[in-house]
Structure 1
Amino acid sequence: MTMLLYIEDDLEIGEMVRSDLEGRGYDVLWLKSGEQASVMAKETQLAILDVMLPGLDGFTIGQRLKKDHPGLPILMLSARTSIDDKLQGLDFADDYVTKPFHPDELAARIEVLLRRHGQAPAGSAEIRIGHLLVKDKEGLVQDTRNQQEILLSGKQFHIFSYFIRHLGQIRTKEQIYESVWGEPYMEGDKTLMVHIRHLREKLEIDPSTPRIIETVRGVGYRVKE
């Protein structure tokens, strides 16, 4: 499993990022300060650093990490948006993302850095679910009974990919909608329900009795492992 070193002292942001990345298949080592960063980085494949930290700031930590672990990709994650801050960070870091950010953007930046450094991003392996073979990173879903590709629309694949990243977990309508559409869910909106119905028509052997995308009454949906 790909291990990420994440240094962030803000508990709310830290928990949000850690939970999202773990849901995407990463193992996250979350530190609240950078004193032990160089030691802990030995077991990790990428470092994500906040700039404003107690004690050593993210720039200092990043420079030390790059010196001690030259091959470790470093991503700066900061509310400091001035060009001087970005240039200072990019003097040693591989990427610089400003807050606020969308979780999908952060995940995409991480994947790019891992590929650039010869690492396989989380979730890159093939996944078998019932009669389906899913190659998430290739955007491919195949019916293993006849080896035929199942063609999904962009939004349908985005929804199914979200379920794959949270395999076995019950996800609420709000969580799914806000991740896929990137905007708040409005109670009573039938958009997600319609997309789930069309998705089942393509993926399920019997859409009237779904075994891939389960409805958890009163809560949301789940795709079992």
Structure 2
Amino acid sequence: MSATLLYIEDDREIGSFVCRHMQEQGYEVNWVMSGEQALEAAAGCKLVILDIMLPGLDGFTVGQRLKKAAPDIPILMLSARTSIDDKLQGLQFADDYLTKPFHPDELTARIEVLLRRTGARNSEPLAIKHLLVHEQQNLVENQDTGEEITLTGKQFHIFSYLLRHLGQIMTKEQIYESVWGESYIEGDKTLMVHIRYLREKIERNPAAPEIIETVRGIGYRIRA
């Protein structure tokens, strides 16, 4: 299962280029364009690529908040600011600092190094009904059969987001905006379709789900 990367960059041209390259390398990329979206969007992501020059909250502030909220997620600063002061300030919380312009192969290599480094810190798996969830490895096992359940990046991101808010009712807006990084439009069926396919993979009986509960008119939750 491919790792999901959170990419925070407000420049559409650079953002599109980086997203396309990382997707070609087999990564799922959750791209947001402001720091205000970053904390919610980080759920389920294995690494953060962070620009410094952002509208609203600057990258240093965003990075510090992300590191405090999720200390095990590596942060790669990606910035046009090349001064040693900027690098030293960034490296107080970030795990690496790459200056623009950069070669995409170097970006890939640095990401792979950070993921290998943090992959050694395996958290305890979480048991939910018949499932065993290894969040660090993006791995879900069916304990009834002993087989791995293969989820897409979006499916795992949705599942991981609900697990991080175990027992809480999460609105469709909250889930959609965290996973897709954009505003939810009332009546959009995208999330509902993804939930349906996710249930087909993880529920014993998708027609009578035991894991992901629909809270009519509001959203979804996983019971604690």
1:183 matched residue in structure 2: 182
After superposition, give the CA deviation of every residue in 1:59-111 in whole Å (9 maximum; x if it has no partner). xxxxxxxxxxxxx99x99xxx984334134157665489xxxxxxxxxxx9xx
Taking only the aligned residue pairs, the percentage that are identical comes to 50
> Aligned in 2, Cα 1:93/1:186: closer, same or farther, shift over 3 Å?
closer
Q: Unmatched 5+ residue regions in structure 1?
A: 1-12, 25-48, 52-57, 59-71, 98-108
Assess, with a 3 A threshold, how the Cα gap between structure 1 residues 143 and 181 changes in structure 2: closer, same or farther.
same
Match of 2:144, SS state, is coil
Query: Aligned-pair distance for 1:145?
Result: 0.8
User: Whole-Å Cα distance in 2 between the matches of residues 91 and 136 of structure 1?
Assistant: 26
1:135/1:187 Cα in 2 relative to 1: closer, same or farther (>3 Å)?
A: same
Structure number with larger C-alpha Rg: 1
Rounded Cα–Cα distance in structure 2 between residues aligned with 1:182 and 1:95? 24
The answer to whether structure 1 residue 221 and structure 2 residue 220 are counterparts is: yes
Q: Structure 1 residue 154 and structure 2 residue 153: aligned? A: yes
Q: Tell me if the contact between 2:170 and 2:218 (Cα under 8 Å) persists in the aligned partners.
A: yes
Give the match for residue 138 of structure 2. Answer: 139
Root mean square deviation, CA, Å: 4.1
For structure 2, list consecutive stretches of 5 or more residues without a partner in the other structure. 1-34, 45-59, 65-70, 98-110
- Aligned partners of 1:86 and 1:96 also within 8 Å: no
Distance 1:168 1:20, change over 3 A: farther
Please give the TM-score of this superposition, normalised by the length of structure 1. 0.52
* Pairwise CA distance, 1:169: 1.6
TM-fit CA distance, 1:151? 1.6
Matches within 5 A, 1:86-97: 86-90=86-90, 94-95=94-95
Distance 1:144 1:186, change over 3 A: same
The alignment status of 1:202 with 2:196, answered yes or no, reads no
Paired AA for residue 139 in structure 2: L
**1:193 aligned partner, one-letter code:** M
Distance 1:83 1:168, change over 3 A: same
TM-score, L = length of structure 2: 0.53
Change (3 A) 1:165 1:93: closer
Q: Deviations over 1:183-220 (max 9, x none)?
A: 11111100000010111111111111111000112211
The corresponding residue for 2:10 is: none
Q: Is this contact kept in 1: 2:128–2:211, CA < 8 A?
A: yes
Q: Tell me, yes or no, if the aligned pair for 2:119 and 2:137 is still in contact at 8 Å.
A: no
- Measured after TM superposition, the shift of residue 133 of structure 1 is 0.7
Aligned length: 150
Give how far 1:120 is off. 4.2
* C-alpha distance in 1 between matches for 2:213 and 2:223: 8
Which gives a bigger RCO, structure 1 or 2 (Cα 8 Å, sep 6+)? Answer: 2
Moved more, 199-208 or 126-135: 199-208
Contact kept? 1:89, 1:96, Cα under 8 Å: no
Q: 1:118 to 1:155 in 2, by over 3 A?
A: closer
Distance 1:92 1:184, change over 3 A: closer
TM superposition shift of 1:153: 1.8
